[in-house]
A and B are shown apart, each in its own frame.
Chain A
Amino acid sequence: MPDTLKSLGGPGANSGATTLGSLKTMDLMVNGQPVTREVAAHISLLDFLRDDLKLKGAKECCAVGECGACTVLVDGEPVNACLLLAVEGQGKSIETIEGVSKGAQLSTVQHSFLKCGGVQCGFCIPGMVMSAEALHRAMPEAGEVQVREALSGNLCRCGGYNRMFDAMRDAAGQKVQCHTTAPITGATVGADISRLGGVERVNGSQEFLADLDIAGMAHLKLVTLDVGRAQIKRIDTSKAHAVPGVIDVVTAADLPQPVARFGPAYQDRPIIAVGETRYHGEPVAAVVAESKDIAAYAAGLVEVEHVALPAVTSIDAALAQGAPLVQPVELRPDDPLAGSNVLKELNFGWGDVDGAAADLVVEKTYTFPMVTHFAIEPHGFIVDAQEDRMKIWSPVQHPFLLQKIMAGLFDLPLGAVQVIAPDPGGGFGGKQMPKFEPLVAVVSRRIGRPVRLVLTLEETFQAVRRAGARIHVRSGFSKDGDLLFHDIQSDYLIGAYVDIAERVTTKGNYLACGPYRVPNARIRARPVLSHTTPSCAYRGFGTPQVNWAVEGQINEAARQLGIDGLEIRLRNVADKGQEIVRGEVPADGHWLQAVQRAADMLGWDTTKPAGRGRGIAVGIKAGATTGLSNAMVRLLADGSILVFAGTSDMGQGARTIFAQIAADALGAPYDRVSLIMGDTDVVPFDLQTSASRSTVFMGTAITRACEDIHAQVIELACDTLGIPETEIRIEGGVIVLPDRREPIFDFVQKSLGSWNGELIGNGRMRKPNVAEHPLGGSPAFFEFNCTAFEVEVDRDTGEVMIHKHVTVGDVGKALNPLHVEMQDEGAAIMGLGHSLYEQILMDDAGRIRNLGAIDYRIVTSKDMPVRLSTGMIENEDGPGPKGSKGVSEGAILCTAPALGAAVADAIGVVITDLPMTPERIWRAIQEQTLG
Chain B
Amino acid sequence: MKPFDFIMPGSLSEAYTVWEELGPAARLLAGGTDLTVALRHGHLATDVVIDLKGIAELKPDIEDDAGWLRVSAGTTMTTLCRYLSERALLPALQEAARVVGSIQIRNRATLAGNVCNASPAADTVPVLAALGAEVEICGPEGTRRTLITAFIEGNRQIDLQRGEIVTAVLIPKPQGRHGCAFDRITRRRGVDLATANLCCNIDDKGAVLFGLGAVSPRPLVLTDESGVMGDPKANHEDRAKAIQVMAAKARPISDVRASADYRSAMLCIMADRACKTAHARRAGGMDA
Contact = CB atoms under 8 A, between A and B. Distances in A.
A78 B256 contact: no
Interface of A: 2, 4-5, 20-22, 24, 40-42, 44, 63-66, 68, 71, 74, 77-80, 82-85, 87-88, 90, 131, 134, 149-150, 152-154, 293, 296-297, 300, 796-797, 836-837, 841, 849-850, 854-855, 857, 859-863, 917-919, 922-923, 926
Interface of B: 1-6, 8, 29, 32-33, 36-37, 39-42, 47, 49, 51, 53, 78, 101-105, 107-108, 185, 187-193, 195, 256-259, 262, 265-266, 269
Given A41-B4, A66-B191, A919 B103 contact: no
A65 B3 contact: no
Among B49, B189, B257, residue most surrounded by chain A Cβ atoms (within 10 Å): B189
Given A78-B103, A78-B104, A131-B103, A4 B5 contact: yes
Contacts of A154: 102
B3 A4 contact: yes
Given A2-B3, A297-B1, A857-B192, A152 B36 contact: no
A922 B263 CA distance: 11
A857 B188 contact: yes
In terms of DSSP, what is the predominant structure of the interface of chain B?
loop
Contacts of B33: 65, 80, 83
Given A79-B107, A83-B36, A849 B256 contact: yes
A228 to B, nearest CB: 16
B276 to A, nearest CB: 12
B102 A42 contact: no
A837 B6 contact: no
B103 A21 contact: no
Nearest to B7: A41
A68 B102 contact: yes
Contact of B101 (A24, A77, A90, A153): A153
Contacts of A40: 3
B5 A65 contact: no
Contact of B103 (A64, A149, A854): A149
A923 B259 CA distance: 11
A534 B249 CA distance: 44
A862 B189 contact: yes
A923 B33 CA distance: 34
A88 B105 contact: no
Nearest to A918: B187
A85 B191 contact: no
Contacts of B51: 85, 87-88
Given A83-B33, A300-B42, A922-B265, A65 B6 contact: no
B84 to A, nearest CB: 17
B5 A41 contact: yes
B116 to A, nearest CB: 16
B5 A153 contact: no
Nearest to A798: B262
A80 B256 contact: no
B185 A797 contact: yes
A23 B152 CA distance: 35
For B42, B47, B105, the residue with the greatest tally of chain A CB atoms inside 10 Å of its CB is B105
B188 A863 contact: yes
Nearest to B46: A42
Contacts, number: 147
A21 B3 contact: yes
Contacts of A923: 262
Contacts of B103: 78, 131, 134, 149-150, 152-153
A63 B36 CA distance: 9
Closest 5 CB pairs of A and B: A153-B102, A860-B190, A21-B3, A41-B6, A862-B190
Of A83, A293, A855, which is in contact with the most chain B CB atoms at under 10 Å from its CB?
A83
A860 B189 contact: yes
Contact of B32 (A24, A83, A926): A83
A836 B189 CA distance: 11
Contacts of B185: 797, 918
A79 B191 contact: no
Contacts of B39: 42
Given A4-B4, A919-B262, A65 B190 contact: no
Nearest to B41: A64
Tell me the dominant secondary structure on chain A's binding face: loop
Contacts of B258: 919
A158 B190 CA distance: 17
A63 B40 contact: yes
B239 to A, nearest CB: 14
A796 B6 CA distance: 49
Contact of B188 (A65, A836, A850): A836
Contact of A854 (B4, B190, B193): B193
Contacts of A153: 101-105, 191
A797 B266 contact: yes
Nearest to A41: B6
B108 A79 contact: yes
15 contacts: A22-B5, A24-B6, A41-B5, A41-B6, A42-B3, A64-B41, A65-B104, A83-B32, A85-B32, A87-B8, A134-B103, A153-B191, A857-B188, A918-B185, A922-B265
Contact of A5 (B3, B102, B104, B188): B3
Given A5-B3, A65-B33, A83-B36, A796 B188 contact: no
Contacts of B37: 63-65, 83
Contacts of A850: 256
Contacts of A859: 188, 190
Contacts of A857: 187-188, 192
A862 B186 CA distance: 13
A79 B104 contact: yes
Contacts of B108: 79-80, 83-84
A135 B265 CA distance: 38
A568 to B, nearest CB: 32
Contacts of B257: 855
Contacts of A861: 190
A797 B105 CA distance: 27
B187 A77 contact: no
Nearest to B37: A64
A703 B65 CA distance: 76
Contacts of A919: 195, 258-259, 262
A20 B3 contact: yes
Nearest to A75: B107
A152 B3 CA distance: 32
Contact of B190 (A83, A84, A797, A863): A863
Contacts of A150: 103
A21 B4 contact: yes
B36 A84 contact: yes
Contacts of B42: 300
Contacts of B104: 65, 68, 71, 78-80, 131, 153
Contact of A77 (B78, B259, B269): B78
Contacts of A66: 191
A854 B121 CA distance: 13
A849 B258 CA distance: 13
Nearest to A68: B104
A71 to B, nearest CB: 6
A297 B105 contact: no
Contacts of A63: 37, 40
Contacts of B256: 841, 849-850, 855
Given A4-B3, A82-B36, A85-B51, 10 more contacts: A2-B4, A40-B3, A42-B4, A44-B36, A63-B37, A65-B104, A74-B107, A854-B193, A918-B185, A926-B265
